[in-house]
Structure 1
Amino acid sequence: MILYRGVSFHMDKLNDGKLVPTGTQPSTTLFHDGYFKYDGTGTYSKSDDNAVRAHQIKSGLYNGCYISTTSDYEIAKIFATQNYSINGYIYHLNTELFEQYGVLMYQYTNPKYPKEQEITIRTIDCKEIPQAVIVKKEIIVIE
């Protein structure tokens, strides 16, 4: 399966052309700060699931080391171009290589934003996504 990560030219330049998480932590405890409701999507204990769900609400929330991807190319294009207003890139990632290179995937049946078809990823060591799993980096230019 191929996953897609859409980023703007600006974001790509800031990350030196790499897919890097904004945070450093694989797990978190939830806080009473208004981001989570008492609906069963989070737990009181520290967990990866809490960190993933926090990331899906707001990238880097609680210093999580996660990266958003999607299984839908058109969704990635929207993120790469910030709704067709700027130029960007779409990274194509081969999930068949994830285990070999230490990349973990998280997907939920009840995500915060179902239309995004998000599959959240991270490396075992919370570092950048290995270049070996990126099979293509496609430029998207808005005319």
Structure 2
Amino acid sequence: MKYLYRGANIHFFNERDGKLIPKTPHENFCAPVYMGSPHATMGSGITMGASTINTAILHQLEQKGYPTSGLSFTPYFERAEYYATKNGSCNGYVYKIDIGLLEKYGVSIISVNEHIEHPAIPEDNEHILVANDFGEIPRDVVVELISV
């Protein structure tokens, strides 16, 4: 796998001025979960306390958009296009990211399918990218922006 893709519908793209900004920038990607949390259910994979894997689980859980400092990507252009166009109902963009540039620009990657027993959408083969400052994913990792 050399590239990852992220679809952004026109509203998301314009709202962020084309930048890859997460829902909660500059918030540590390490959510604490405690007894009584609505997400700490049997089989969810969540463990008590704070962890990156807890945050990754919450990030993709039931595709409800739990706000984190990470952004979702897929190695499949077609899946990114699906999200960018809301299954053909609007226009959007697909960001093409070179995985080889992530370390150079301080971006970590978490493979959802490798770390989470029950991914929300396994066919996406979701990868969550997190900038080292928990903010914007640097534009320098984007090798192409494709209008769809």
2: CA distance, partners of 1:44 / 1:35: 11
TM-score (norm 1): 0.90
How many residue pairs get matched? Answer: 138
What is aligned with 1:45?
49
Match of 2:129 in 1: 121
Question: Residues 9-24 of structure 1 correspond to what in structure 2 (within 5 A)?
Answer: 9-23=10-24, 24=27
1:99 shift after superposition: 0.4
Answer whether contact 2:23 2:69 (CA < 8 A) is retained. Answer: yes
Residue aligning to 1:73 = 77
Structure 1 stretch 131-140 or stretch 106-115: which is displaced more? 106-115
Match of 1:94 among 95, 98, 116: 98
Corresponding position: 1:28 with 2:31: yes
Kindly state the Cα deviation for residue 112 of structure 1 after the two structures are TM-superposed: 2.5
Q: Which runs of 5+ in 2 are unaligned?
A: none
Q: Is the 8 A contact 2:5 2:74 kept in 1?
A: yes
CA 1:41–1:65 in 2, change beyond 3 Å: closer, same or farther?
Answer: same
CA RMSD of aligned residues (A): 1.4
Task: Quote the sequence identity (%).
Answer: 30
Match in the other structure for 1:138: 146
Q: Normalising by structure 2, what TM-score?
A: 0.87
Q: Which runs of 4+ in 1 moved over 6 A?
A: none
